[in-house]
Structure 1
Amino acid sequence: MAGDWYLYEVFQAFLSAPAYHLLLEAFLVLWILRLILTKSYKPHKTRLGAKEKEELIAEWTPEPLVPDTPSDHYTLHPRVVDGKPGKTVTINGKKILNMGTLNFLNMIENKAMEEAAITSLKTYGVGSCGPRGFYGTVDAHLQLEDKLAKFLGVEEAVLYSFGFSTISSAIPAYAKRGDVLFVDAGVSFAIQQGIAASRSHVRYFKHNDVDDLKRLLQLQADTDSKHPKRARVIRKFVIVEGLYLNYGDICPLPELVAIKQEYCVRLFVEESLSFGVLGASGKGVTEHFGISVDEVDLICGSLENALAAIGGFCCGKSYVIDHQRLSGLGYCFSASMPPMIASAAITSLEQLENNPDIFSALVRNSRWLHEKISSIPGVEVGGDPISPVKHISLKDCGENGEQETRMLEEIVQEAENQGVALTVARYLHNEEAHPLRPSIRLAVSSSLTQPDLTLALRVISNACASVHRRDLDAVE
């Protein structure tokens, strides 16, 4: 009976429905049936004869899987390193002075770090085999986070297992579509990847030019005043590096903090190079300028340079850092760093705290080498005098980037022959946001003695002079 009553009600509803409604429903039903039963693609069948097939095959030229590579390209002649790339490095069986790796404090040869890593290896094994939120957290990770937070004077720190992914995960964790990022034009490729992943609006200002940054912020403020409702939901960030990898100079943090307060923006500082380098105790660019870390909304850094470990970190206020534990893709989905690396990084931090003289030695070496290399004829040295990263370029190459790169590679090879390891700075030119001038990226270490520095200066000077003479002879 209930079934009959239900059918009766349906029939009455059908009779009372408007005619146009019934026609529309019938049309939709027929259209759905047509979509289900009709093929979405009907290939055009063409029958080719044997002669036509042979002609098509003869005309077809396959595209190369990779572009043509010149026979003298550096990737075809790799330098093979034996052992630790410490103060000295063994390249292709030859032991020479190392001025090419970012081992600023020579922690890669620290015996205490080695012992801590071996002890941890025996306790925890090689890897955690899981992300931090899924059985990948061990007490060594928590100890390192706590150690970093106390060392930098912040509320909390969070670890990433890969230095590159730290800033490229942190930026999209906070900045989303519709937000505005004001970014220094000289930032590294890792920051550029984080910017792209955020899908935010990007405004690049001239490298280390606070006036250009203020101009862009004022333009944004003028736009916001015309659309106050939309402006209330737009977040604005300023993103810089403490010590720029591509230039070797230091960001003007005091001016940036003043701009942050004036325009009410958030300030992110990437300190992969400045951490463990700048400041009386290696705490980075904030200590270098005597500015409280609370003035910076987020500090990111790498453990792979000064500390000679693996991975990276972000630090700041607890509510800022906690957000990354759910939104930082590199944190949520990457396996955590090996516990032995965390133990080694803890020991490395303790070494920094117990040996503050190491930073004054690094500054002394950097300043001396900067002054001396600047006096070499035909050479320009980029970067701050106290920066351990120097960019050496040639004065008389004009706009010919290929020629300058070739000459720099010849200088590097000549220096290697004379006993000093250098490296040409490499970039993904087709993907970089802004073009970068070819240069030799030289890295200074605190462990270099005066004879080491004198040797490096003499070799670089001789290599530059030799390549210049060779180039002039080729022109004549």
Structure 2
Amino acid sequence: MWSKLETRLKQRRAQDMMRHRLTLESGQDTEISIAGEHFINFSSNDYLGLASHPKLSEATQKAVQRYGSGSGASHLVVGHSEEHHRLEEELAEFLGVERALLFSSGFMANYGVLSSLFDRKDLLVQDKLNHASLIDGGRACEAKMLRYAHNDMDSLERQLKHKVETKMIVTDGVFSMDGDVAPIPEILALSSTYKAQLMVDDAHGFGVLGASGKGTLEHFGLEQKHADIYMATLGKSVGGYGAFVAGKAVLIESLVQFARSYIYTTAIPPAVAAANRAGLALIQSEPERRQQLKDNIAYFKQLADEKGLPLLPSDTAIQPVLLGTNERAVAVSNSLREKGLLVVAIRPPTVPENSARLRITLTSNHRKTHIEQLVEAISTI
């Protein structure tokens, strides 16, 4: 066993594909400290700058004083606190759905949904670039899983022609590595034609897209009910941690009864749920954060276009600079770090071969000077 693992690690090192952790000495923000060095951070999913917001800290502290540091058990034993319950109710009310259910992470939410609700008579049709949690959840269930070319409606239609009892189209709302948005209206048209249902993973759309931050469906002027299963995370735009699934009461009750990743997991601490509630409230009360993020995205794209940077087509906070080889992506990322700019290189297997990139993420807290410094540094490197 150990020799096989050593061989695999050597192969990964040789291909410039080794992953490494960074240890932060500061809170999550646009400016961070690592190993005593200061960096402007362009790698965080804290899109609205709420992870370091004082209201989330205050909510956390109050909840710790009341509930302590841990939840102590799973939701179905004695781990489900009032903070958890209110958060679920507030999420459902915000989205205009019957119920919402908390999970400990987005991976566990997607895995729980796909591994528990479908059987061998069913068909899952997934976008080829869906998040790993969706793909792994699909592989773990009994249903047949097919994949269609990324955002390719002709490819999707071919897969939907299979005759089965239940068909579920599964897609990211905003794709985490490319930053582009799924064509939800076109997908819904096909789902109607072929009597399929729709699941949307809106981890990178919830809180930032749409007039009120309800995500990808609102971005297209659609009601939440158009997604039969809606999942989003709380550790990105909300500034906290965890995830939720939202939809009809029958969906949520089925997950409570059958989703093993929900049933057999300790609930997130009540203090974390309290922080999530504070973040959700700020999303609703401070729409100027979304507007500032939009302005920052537009400014970055303008400067990048002027410098001729090889951007992928994206209008979201995720702005990938395509560099091709692993070696080039790592070299540019390291050069940026020397200039005090943190932009992590993304390489296979996270992205397809020969599509290594800088995954730049913008937040509402970035200033114009930050963006100008980044674009100038990339263009000179």
Same fold by TM (over 0.5)? yes
Correspondence for 2:224 among 293, 318, 323: 293
Name the CA distance, whole Å, in 2 between partners of 1:154 and 1:145.
11
Correspondence for 1:381 among 311, 325, 331: 311
Correspondence for 2:114 among 164, 171, 194: 171
* Corresponding residue number in structure 1 for 2:338: 417
2:380 aligned with 1:462, yes or no? yes
Q: How does 1:81-92 map to 2 (within 5 A)?
A: 81-92=24-35
Structure showing greater Rg? 1
TM-score (norm: length of structure 1) = 0.76
Correspondence for 1:79 among 16, 22, 26: 22
**Deviation string for 1:370-413 (max 9, x for gaps)?**
23224434x4212422x00111113xx5xxxxxx1111111111
* Corresponding residue number in structure 2 for 1:372: 303
* Corresponding residue number in structure 2 for 1:247: 178
Secondary structure, aligned partner of 2:345? coil
**Deviation string for 1:394-448 (max 9, x for gaps)?**
3xx5xxxxxx11111111111111121100125546xx8x657211111100111
Considering fraction of residues, name the structure with more helix: 1
**Deviation string for 1:157-203 (max 9, x for gaps)?**
00001222111111122222231111111101111111111132112
TM-score (norm: length of structure 2) = 0.94
Question: Is the 2:123–2:168 Cα contact (8 Å) retained in structure 1?
Answer: yes
* Corresponding residue number in structure 1 for 2:3: 63
Query: Tell me, which stretches of 5 or more residues in structure 2 are unaligned?
Result: none
Correspondence for 1:449 among 359, 362, 367: 367
Question: Is the 2:177–2:318 Cα contact (8 Å) retained in structure 1?
Answer: no
Correspondence for 1:335 among 243, 266, 273: 266
Name the CA distance, whole Å, in 2 between partners of 1:82 and 1:456.
22
Pick closer, same or farther for the CA change 1:373–1:156 going to 2, 3 Å: same
Cα deviation, residue 98, structure 1: 0.6
1:452 partner amino acid: H
Name the CA distance, whole Å, in 2 between partners of 1:272 and 1:409.
26
Cα deviation, residue 294, structure 1: 1.1
1:328 partner amino acid: A
Name the CA distance, whole Å, in 1 between partners of 2:197 and 2:6.
42
Correspondence for 2:202 among 268, 271, 278: 271
* Corresponding residue number in structure 1 for 2:72: 129
Correspondence for 1:188 among 124, 131, 152: 131
Correspondence for 2:94 among 151, 157, 162: 151
Secondary structure, aligned partner of 1:175? coil
* Corresponding residue number in structure 1 for 2:105: 162
Question: Is the 1:253–1:289 Cα contact (8 Å) retained in structure 2?
Answer: yes
Name the CA distance, whole Å, in 2 between partners of 1:460 and 1:71.
26
Cα deviation, residue 76, structure 1: 8.4
Q: Identify the range of structure 1 (337-346 vs 255-264) with the bigger mean alpha-carbon deviation.
A: 255-264
Name the CA distance, whole Å, in 1 between partners of 2:148 and 2:191.
15
Name the CA distance, whole Å, in 2 between partners of 1:72 and 1:208.
29
2:321 partner amino acid: I
* Corresponding residue number in structure 2 for 1:54: none
Name the CA distance, whole Å, in 1 between partners of 2:100 and 2:252.
7
Question: Is the 1:187–1:246 Cα contact (8 Å) retained in structure 2?
Answer: no
Name the CA distance, whole Å, in 2 between partners of 1:457 and 1:351.
30
2:47 aligned with 1:104, yes or no? yes
Question: Is the 2:17–2:348 Cα contact (8 Å) retained in structure 1?
Answer: no
Question: Is the 1:163–1:304 Cα contact (8 Å) retained in structure 2?
Answer: no
**Deviation string for 1:213-250 (max 9, x for gaps)?**
112223x1xxx3xxxxxx4xx21110001000121100
2:310 partner amino acid: E
Name the CA distance, whole Å, in 2 between partners of 1:298 and 1:261.
16
Cα deviation, residue 73, structure 1: 5.9
Name the CA distance, whole Å, in 2 between partners of 1:267 and 1:273.
17
* Corresponding residue number in structure 1 for 2:166: 235
* Corresponding residue number in structure 2 for 1:439: 357
Pick closer, same or farther for the CA change 1:302–1:115 going to 2, 3 Å: same
RMSD of aligned residue pairs (Cα, Å): 2.1
Question: Is the 1:249–1:384 Cα contact (8 Å) retained in structure 2?
Answer: yes
2:326 partner amino acid: T
1:408 partner amino acid: A
Higher RCO (C-alpha under 8 Å, 6+ residues apart)? 2
2:188 aligned with 1:257, yes or no? yes
Cα deviation, residue 74, structure 1: 7.6
**Deviation string for 1:31-82 (max 9, x for gaps)?**
xxxxxxxxxxxxxxxxxxxxxxxxxxxxxxx835422534996858753321
Pick closer, same or farther for the CA change 1:322–1:381 going to 2, 3 Å: same
How many matched pairs? 378
Secondary structure, aligned partner of 2:97? coil
